[in-house]
Each structure stands twice: as structure tokens, then as C-alpha cells.
Amino acid sequence: MLHTVNKSPFLNGTLESCLRFVSEGDCVLLMEDGVYAAVADTARSALVEEALGKVSVYALSADLKARGLDNLIEGVKVTDYNGFVELVEQHKTHSWL
Amino acid sequence: MSGGEVKKIMFTVRKAPHGSIYVYEGLEVKLIMAAYDADISVVFMDDGVFALKEGQNTKELGIKGFAATYGAMVDYEISKIYVDRQSMEERGMSEDDLLVIGEDEDTEEPIKPQVVDAAEIAAMMAEQHNILVF
């Protein structure tokens, strides 16, 4: 499964909800305001840090760059739009809109 | 739908019912999909659990309520309706607060949505051909 999250973890609980429903080996793609969850040393960093033991976490590079984010949690993989398409091709997707 | 295999389609409902059109639109899509030969399941999680609260009355909002349609879901042959336990409990709801979605053909006992844990929902998600989000 691929789970996409596009909401800031500081504004609502979408990422937390998503992470309650992931299975071992699933992928989580952070996009749009969701990429704020990929940043290290924030009040919400623990969400992704803990999830990395169970799932792969990706962050969309265009959204990171647009927001000036580069201090990412170790283990988060940065992907571009082509990588996004590949993830969607490889998995069933649930969008946590 | 073509092909031999019956498609497994899950709907997830995560938004509260009356603040936006999502839940209502989702219900319409479910009823349309029910006309096809698909294996449909519906999961209410996060604020979506509010859509299953019994006793909703939208009269003073001046809009037609749709809780009654949810209450007839089994008539549309959609019987796999699940509620995430944690979402429900966090919002102060218990199984008693859930609306009746149909009645058993033989015993006429009321049927309520089935309360399940996140792990069970995650396992069901993995089995689906498609998941539609409302």
C-alpha cells in the first residue's frame, strides 16, 4: 500500500491517523503541506521517526524545495514526480485527504 | 464491469457529515457502485464516524438529511460497513450511538455498523483492488 498525506502535521491529525492504519512494509509519501512532517527537530518529528521502523517514508522534492526545507529526518527518502508515478504504479493507493 | 473476478472496492469516510459535501457525495457514489457487481466495503474513521451518529436532524439547516439513506444501506446490498473503534471512542461515541443500517431478513434484528480495530482495517485495505476516499 501507498499512503499519501498532504496535510501539515501541525494543523491536524491526518498523518497520525494514517500511521495508525499502515501495515508493515507500506510506503508513506509526504506531499504538499505534508512535507513539513519530514523535517528533523520539530515538535512532530517523532511521528515519522517512529513510523520509519515499520514503513518507508518519502517526501516530494518539489514541495520540499518550494518550502525551503532541507533539514530532513534521517531515513526519509526524497523523491521527484517520476518517483511519485512509480510508487503509484507499484502500489494500491490511499490518499489521506 | 467486465472480467470474471469481482472487484473489491473500499470507501473510506474521514470527514464529518454536514460541514462539507464530501460525505453526501460519497454516499451517492456508493449507491451507484452498489448497482454493479462489486464487493463493496465502507470504513468510517476519524470525523467520518459522526456520519453514523443516530438522531441526526438537518431540518433547521434547511437541507435534506442523508442519515436515513445510510440507515438503509443494507437494502442497497451494502452490508460491509465498519467503524474504527478508536475514532469512535475519541469522539465520545459508543456502539449504542450508531444508527441502524438495516435489519436481518430472517430475524428482523437491527443491523449496526461493525466496530473494528485499526489493524483489522489495515488488513482489509491491503486486500482491495481500489480504495475511494471521501
pLDDT tens string B5-63 = 899 999 999 999 998 999 999 999 999 988 888 999 999 999 999 999 999 999 998 88
Residue A29's nearest CA partner among A54, A53, A52, A57 is A57
Residue A15 and residue A38 in contact, taking contact as beta carbons nearer than 8 Å = no
Query: Nearest residue on chain B to A26, judged by CA atoms?
Result: B126
The Cα A91–Cα A88 span in angstroms is 5
Q: Is the pLDDT of residue B2 over 60?
A: no
| Strand-strand pairing, B102-103 and B110-111 | antiparallel
Residue keyed to cell 508513506 = A28
The Cα A4–Cα A54 span in angstroms is 16
Chain B nearest CA to A36, separation (Å): 21
pTM for the whole structure: 0.88
Residues B54-105 pLDDT 10s: 999 999 988 888 888 888 888 888 989 999 999 999 999 999 999 999 888 8
Chain A nearest CA to B105, separation (Å): 33
Residue B16 and residue B51 in contact, taking contact as beta carbons nearer than 8 Å = yes
Q: Three-state SS for A43?
A: coil
**Band of pLDDT at residue B3, cut at 50, 70 and 90:** low
Residue keyed to cell 485527504 = A97
Q: Given the cut 0.85, state whether the ipTM is greater than it.
A: no
Residues A39-89 pLDDT 10s: 999 999 999 999 999 999 999 999 999 999 999 999 999 999 999 999 999
CB < 8 Å to B86, chain A:
20
Q: How many C-alpha atoms does A68 have within 13 Å on its Cβ side?
A: 0
Query: Nearest residue on chain B to A24, judged by CA atoms?
Result: B122
Residue A94 and residue B12 in contact, taking contact as beta carbons nearer than 8 Å = yes
